[in-house]
């Protein structure tokens, strides 16, 4: 079914000492992340041949990418169709859109005003050369 959320695309949070916190997660919890983040690979139950991943990343406290101390990114199948459904439902949608080699992005707001990032990754074969496939996420 096009135009739906299929998983959590990323969990991002800010830290005043991002490098030290990354080291703590590496040493204590075994995360193998680089400065851009860690990827957790998974497969969808309804499409086991499709590989997905969730990005986990610590941003510097000074990052302007998002305002809150944390942000959740949802993985979306057919972002344009999903945004049409949300608009029809009266959901507040940020007019900004970003398109990168690692996918399309849009932002919405929940009923409390929390900004939510939506991400439609490119087809799997085009991810092979993208920087995200190599453990990176925007900071």
Claim: this prediction has a pTM higher than 0.75 = yes
Q: Please tell me whether residue 127 adopts helix, strand or coil conformation.
A: helix
In a structure prediction context, what are the per-residue pLDDT tens digits for the chain, which is 139 residues long? 679 998 999 999 999 999 899 889 989 999 887 656 888 888 878 888 888 888 899 999 999 988 889 999 999 999 999 999 999 999 999 999 999 998 999 999 999 998 999 999 987 665 554 555 444 344 4
Strand partners, 105: 98, 119
Say what the pLDDT of residue 80 is.
96
Buried-state track 3-13, b at ≥16 Cβ within 10 A, e below 16: eeebebbbbbb
Domains and CATH numbers, the chain: 4-134 (3.10.180.10)
State the DSSP H helix or E strand holding residue 87, giving kind and residue range, or none if neither: helix 79-88
State the DSSP H helix or E strand holding residue 24, giving kind and residue range, or none if neither: helix 18-29
Say what the pLDDT of residue 120 is.
94
Say what the pLDDT of residue 11 is.
92
């Amino acid at each position: 079914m096009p135009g739906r959320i299929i998983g959590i695309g990323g969990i991002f949070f800010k830290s005043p000492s991002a490098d030290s916190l990354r080291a703590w997660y590496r040493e204590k919890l075994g995360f193998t992340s680089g400065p851009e983040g860690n990827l957790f690979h998974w497969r969808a139950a309804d499409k086991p041949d499709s590989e997905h991943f969730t990005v986990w990343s610590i941003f510097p406290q000074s990052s302007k990418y998002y305002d809150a101390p944390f942000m959740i990114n949802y993985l979306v199948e057919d972002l344009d169709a999903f945004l049409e459904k949300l608009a029809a439902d009266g959901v507040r949608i940020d007019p900004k859109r970003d398109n990168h080699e690692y996918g399309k992005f849009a932002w919405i707001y929940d009923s409390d005003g929390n900004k939510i990032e939506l991400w439609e990754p490119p087809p799997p074969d085009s991810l092979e050369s993208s920087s995200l496939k190599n453990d990176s996420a925007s900071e």
